[in-house]
Amino acid sequence: MKWPLILSIIFLFSCSEKERNESTAEELSDAKWIDLTYDFSDKTIYWPTANGFKLDTSFNGITPAGFYYSAYNYCAAEHGGTHLDAPVHFAKGKWAADEIPLENLTGEAVVIDVSDKALKDPDYLINVNDIEIWEKTNGNLPDKVILFFRTGYGAFYPDAKKYLGSDERGPDAVAKLHFPAIHPDAADWLVKNRKIKAVGLDVASVDYGQSKDFRTHQILYEQNIPGFENVANLDKLPIKGAFIIALPMKIKGGSGAPLRIVAITSS
């Protein structure tokens, strides 16, 4: 989708209200919406030490008044399924989930596909060379872009053993995790040489499964660059030109939150 077309959908302020409404409706009718969010259920993948998703039935059935009614209570950790990592998760004093400006959660997307390497090596670390190879063909990453890395591991979700490298639970399971993510050197290069809004992956963390110090988290989040983890359907996005809307649950002071993330493309 061409960037001017995206802008016309979101920012049609230069024309009259009637013209704006008609033009926006026309653009949206031609656009394709892609859901980048996994649903939440007892199959949702969480970090081995986090509480999983639980849904309890408050009421489901016919009321004494004769009409149908359903209501549920749910409980879950902040970090699980498709979710936001707020910068405060690993950087004291940086944005919490409710403090991230909306303009940092929306914008043009770029997808760098490293699946050919990552699927061969569950401990693969996405590096500066992967970014530079993409830029040789597509030009430098645009300023204020939302950057996604596609590892191909979305094909394994929600099979925790294939997706995380282990389906065990508890503190001892963390050492058995194997999945690819971003090398700290690549994170450092991005914050020093490019101006990205956010970063997302189709794996459980911006640091790879065997990380001990979570340096990629620290580097990105210190710069108030939030992370989107367990992103679905990255294989359906074009390598550039889609527009992203990533809206987390607005948890006051939250270090993260469940995330509903969608993309708009032209086809």
Q: What is the dihedral of CA 180, 186, 191, 194, to 10 degrees?
A: -110
In angstroms, the Cα distances linking 103 to 99, 108, 144, 244, 254 are: 11, 11, 9, 10, 19
In the annotation, is 83 catalytic? no
Q: Indicate the pairing of strand 83-85 with strand 54-62.
A: unpaired
Could you give the CA distance from residue 114 to residue 33 in angstroms, rounded to a whole number?
24
Place of tokens 């210190």: 222
In angstroms, the Cα distances linking 172 to 64, 77, 166, 207 are: 50, 19, 11, 18
Name the active-site residue from 79, 83, 89, 183: 89
Q: Which of 83, 74, 71 is nearest to 54 (CA)?
A: 74
**HSE toward the beta carbon, residue 245, CA cutoff 13 A:** 11
Q: Indicate the pairing of strand 196-201 with strand 227-229.
A: parallel
For 23, other C-beta atoms within 10 Å of its C-beta total: 14
Could you give the CA distance from residue 92 to residue 168 in angstroms, rounded to a whole number?
30
Question: Which of helix, strand or coil describes residue 150?
Answer: strand
The dihedrals phi and psi of 49, each to the nearest 5 degrees, come to: -100, 0
DSSP per residue, 81-98: SSEEE-GGGTSTTS--TT
Residue positions annotated with a catalytic role = 89
